Amino acid sequence: MAIPNTAIDTKDSQGCPVADFAFDESLVEFTVPKADWLRINDKAFDGVHTSAFIFDDAGRVLLVQRAAHDSMPNLWETPGGAVDKEDASILAGCAREVWEEAGLVARRMGWDEGVLRVGV
């Protein structure tokens, strides 16, 4: 079951076009800012990384190649990165990273057998 994304901003802190997206109820705990989630869950670290598995209709997963000048140059990975303190929520941070790294707008997020699936 998905619920509408009414509590999350539709633009991120850098103005990326992050459209409203639906998400499974199982992801509700990630609809809060990073700092709140870390405090609520009593985590000793101060960072949260997000990564999105984006599948097409044929079941293929999207991989992006890291820049040659970046850390771990030219490696392939799923779109993702650090959740920023300016992100409205952890899910919004994930949507922003999908936009920044793949140029895609997240439309729905779901939890499937331990994998965060993002539909665009």
Indicate the residue type of 42.
D
| Whole-number pLDDT of residue 114 | 64
Q: Which string of b and e fits 46-58 if b means at least 16 CB within 10 Å?
A: eebebbbebeeee
pLDDT tens-place string over residues 81-92: 999 999 999 999
Instruction: Assess whether pLDDT exceeds 60 at residue 48.
Output: yes
| Whole-number pLDDT of residue 6 | 43
- The residue extents of the domains of the chain are 2-119
Which fold is adopted by the domain 2-119? Nucleoside Triphosphate Pyrophosphohydrolase (3.90.79)
Q: What is the mean pLDDT of the chain?
A: 83
- In terms of Cβ atoms closer than 10 Å to its own Cβ (0-12, 13-18, 19+), residue 40 is exposed
| Whole-number pLDDT of residue 108 | 87
Instruction: Assess whether pLDDT exceeds 90 at residue 31.
Output: yes
| Whole-number pLDDT of residue 57 | 87
